[in-house]
Structure 1
Amino acid sequence: MSPQLLSIITLWAAAALYAVAMVAWSIRLSRVADERIRAREGGVDAPSEVNAEAPVRERVAVGARDGDDAAVAAMASGATSFVVDDGDDSDQPRRSAADRALGAARSAMYMGLVLHVIGLIARFFEADHVPWSNMYGYTITGSLTAVAVFAFVQSRKDITYLGAGVMGFATLTLGLGLTVLYSAADGLRPALQSFWLVIHVSIAIISTGVFVVAFAATVLQLLQYERADGQREVSGGAMSRLGTRGRNVIVRWTQRTRWFEAVPSAQKLEGVAFRLNAVGFVLWTFTVMAGAIWAEHAWGRYWGWDPKEIWSFVIWVLYAAYLHARTTTGWLGRKSAWVSVGAFVALIMNFTIVNLYFQGLHTYAS
C-alpha cells in the first residue's frame, strides 16, 4: 500500500470515528441532563456541573432508601455508577447510560486520534516534508490539533460538555480537507525550504487548535446567557422584551433542549474560554513574530503589508482586545464573548477567504 493511499484511508477512518465520538458525546450530555432533571424532580440536589471523573456517589439515583446499606456500600467503594430500586437488595454497581456513552466517546476519539496521526505520518512520507505546506495539509493537521487539545485538557479538567462541538468541528474540517482541499503531495517551493516552516506553521496550527476549543466554550457561554435571559423573561411575563425573531428562536431552542441542563453556567464557561484564549494568544503572538523573522530571511523585509500578514495582525489585535475587554469592568460576559467570536471568525477568514481570493506572497499556501 502506498503512503498516499494509507494516508487517505486512515484520515477517512479518523473522520468516521470523530463522527461517532460526536454522537456519543451528545448522548452523554443528554443522559446526564436526564439524570439531573429526574434528581431535581425527585427532590434530590443534583451536582451543579458534569464531572466525568467523579464517582457517581455525587449523583445517586432517585429511589435509594435513606440508610440503605447497598447505597452506602456502593458510594463508599467509589462506584462509577449506582442504581438502586426499592426492594432490590443487590449491592452490585451498574454502569449508567451516561457512563457507557462516555466510554464510547473516549474510545472513538482516541482511536480516531491514533488513525489521524498515522495518516499525517503517511502524508509526510508521501510528500517527503512536513505535511502542512498548503491548505490541505494545514486542515488535516489543524483538525488533529483541535482534538488533541480537547483530549489533553479533558484529561485534567472536566470539559466533556465541549466534546460534541469539538468532534463536530474535526469531522467537518477533516471531511472538507479530504473532499474539497485535497491536493497531491509535491515538492516545496524555494520560499518554504526553511526550518521556519516547521516552527512558524506548527505553532500557528497549535494555536488554532486551542482557539477552536475556546470557541466551542464561548458559543455555549452565549447560549447559556440566552437561556438564562429567556427563563427570567418568561417567569416575569415579559417575553415580548426579546429583541428579534432570531433571538426568539434561539431562546426557545435553548429552553427546549434538555442537554443544557448538563452544561455549566455561563460564568464557568467564560472562565474556561478565557484561559484557553489566553494560551492561544501567546502562541499566536509567537506565530506573528516567527512569521516576520521568516519573511526577513525569505524576502528581505520583516513586514510588507501582504494580505496574509495583515489578517494575522488583525487576529492578534482582536484576541488582544478580547483579553483586555475580559478584564475591563462593563465588558465581562456577553460583550467580551462576542469579541472572541469575532476574533475566531477573522481566523477562519484568514485561512479561507484570504488564502483563496487575495493575491500576495502567501498564495502558495493555498
Structure 2
Amino acid sequence: MPIDDNLARYSDFSFATAVVIYAFALILLSAEFASLRTRALDALERTPTLVRAGTPVVTTTADRPGRLVEPPRRSRSDRLGRMGMSMVVVGLSAHLASIVLRGLATARVPWGNMYEFVTLTCAAAVLAGLIVLRRASLRTLWVFALIPILILLFVAGTVLYADAAPVVPALQSYWLPIHVSIVSIGSGVFLISGVASILFLLRVSYSDSSEESGALIRFVRQLPDSRVLDQLAYRTTIFAFPLFGSGVILGAIWAEAAWGRFWGWDPKETVSFIAWVVYAAYLHARATSGWRDTRAAWINITGFVAMLFNLFIINMVVSGLHSYAGLN
C-alpha cells in the first residue's frame, strides 16, 4: 500500500511535540526536586494536624465551637510536581498519537525499524512510570526516568530516524507485532528498574555519610528510602522478566519459520539471551540472603547495560540476521 505522507508528517510533528512536552515536564519536576529541602522546612513550621490536602475539617474551640477551618494550601513545590505530572500525561498522549499515526501512514504495525522500536519502548517506559511512580512520595523519581527517555527519543529522532516506508520482506510477518511489541514493552519496564537500581546504589553509598553539607549529600538525602528504591527495582523486574523471556521464545519460533532453525547464535540472539540470564541472576540474587543489597543491584544494572548494548551496538555496528535498523 502507498505511504500516506500527510499522516507521516503528522506523526513526526506529534513525536516532536511529545519530546518538547516531556522536556517541560522534566523542568517542572526538577524544580520540585530542587525545592524538597525548602518544603521539608516549611512542613516543620506547620501545625501537626494531619489533614488531607483540599479537605476542610471542623474543629471545636472554647469560643467558636464547630468552626470550619480550611486546610493549608498546597506548597509551591507540590504544585510544580502536579503540573509536571500533568505534562507527562499530555506528552504521553502526543507520543502515542505519533505511534498510531505512523502505523496509519504505513498501513502496518509501527515498530519495523530502530526509530519506531525506540519510540515504542520509551512510550512503554513512560506508561510504566505512570503506574509504578503514581505515589507522591515517588514523584521525584520522574526526574531520573525522564532523562534517559529524552536521550533515547532525541537519538531516535535524529540518528535513528527513518522515513515512513514499508518494512523489508523478512519482517512482513504476523510475528512482527507479537514478538517486537512484547520485547519493547519489557525493555521499557527494564528502564525504570535500571534507574531505580542506580539511585538505590547512590542512596546506600551515602546513607551513612556523616557530612552535613555538599551538593551530592543533599541530593542523595532527597531520594526515597533505599528500601523503597530496592523494592521498585525488584517489582518492575519481576513484571518485565517474563515478558522479555516470552519475547525471546517467540522470536525463536519466528526464526524457525523464517530461517528454518530456532536458534543460531546470531549476535542479536546471543546478547538477548545473555541479558535474560543476567536478569534471571538478579532475581535469584535478590531472593538470596547476603546478595539482596548492592550486589544484586549491580547485577540489575549489568542487565540494563546489556539491553542498551543489544539495542545500539548490535543493531548499528555488528552485522547479523537481525540487521533491520532501517538506517540510511
Give the TM-score of the pair, scaled to structure 1: 0.79
CA offsets, 1:315-359, max 9 Å, x none?
Answer: 001001111111122212111111111110000000000001111
Return 5+ residue gaps in structure 1 as ranges: 40-59, 67-71, 83-88, 236-250
**Contact 1:113/1:144, CA 8 A, preserved across alignment:** yes
Percent identity (aligned): 35
DSSP 3-state at the match of 1:323? helix
Partner of 1:287: 247
Q: 1:113 aligned to 2:92?
A: yes
Partner of 2:189: 210
Query: C-alpha root-mean-square deviation of aligned residues, in Å?
Result: 2.3
Aligned AA for 1:331? Answer: W
1:18: how far off? 0.6
Indicate how the Cα distance of structure 1 residues 355 and 290 shifts in structure 2: closer, same or farther if over 3 A, else same.
same
Indicate how the Cα distance of structure 1 residues 10 and 310 shifts in structure 2: closer, same or farther if over 3 A, else same.
same
CA offsets, 1:183-221, max 9 Å, x none?
Answer: 112222222111111111000110011101111111110
> Matched residues in 1 for 2:271 and 2:129: separation?
26
Partner of 1:62: 45
> Matched residues in 2 for 1:278 and 1:212: separation?
13
Indicate how the Cα distance of structure 1 residues 129 and 23 shifts in structure 2: closer, same or farther if over 3 A, else same.
same
Instruction: List, as ranges, runs of 4+ consecutive aligned residues in structure 1 with deviation greater than 3 Å.
Output: 89-93, 155-158
Partner of 2:35: 31
Indicate how the Cα distance of structure 1 residues 157 and 318 shifts in structure 2: closer, same or farther if over 3 A, else same.
farther
**Contact 1:162/1:213, CA 8 A, preserved across alignment:** no
CA offsets, 1:134-193, max 9 Å, x none?
Answer: 111111111111111101223368531321111222221111111111111222222211
Give the TM-score of the pair, scaled to structure 2: 0.88
Q: 1:359 aligned to 2:319?
A: yes
Residue correspondence of structure 1 range 172-211 to structure 2 within 5 A: 172-211=151-190
**Contact 2:122/2:153, CA 8 A, preserved across alignment:** yes
Indicate how the Cα distance of structure 1 residues 4 and 263 shifts in structure 2: closer, same or farther if over 3 A, else same.
same
Return 5+ residue gaps in structure 2 as ranges: 57-67
Q: 1:344 aligned to 2:301?
A: no
> Matched residues in 2 for 1:256 and 1:32: separation?
10
Partner of 1:254: 216
Q: 1:273 aligned to 2:256?
A: no
> Matched residues in 2 for 1:99 and 1:35: separation?
9
Partner of 2:139: 160
> Matched residues in 2 for 1:106 and 1:63: separation?
26
Q: 1:4 aligned to 2:36?
A: no
Q: How many residues align?
A: 311
**Contact 2:197/2:233, CA 8 A, preserved across alignment:** yes
Aligned AA for 1:79? Answer: A
**Contact 2:183/2:243, CA 8 A, preserved across alignment:** yes
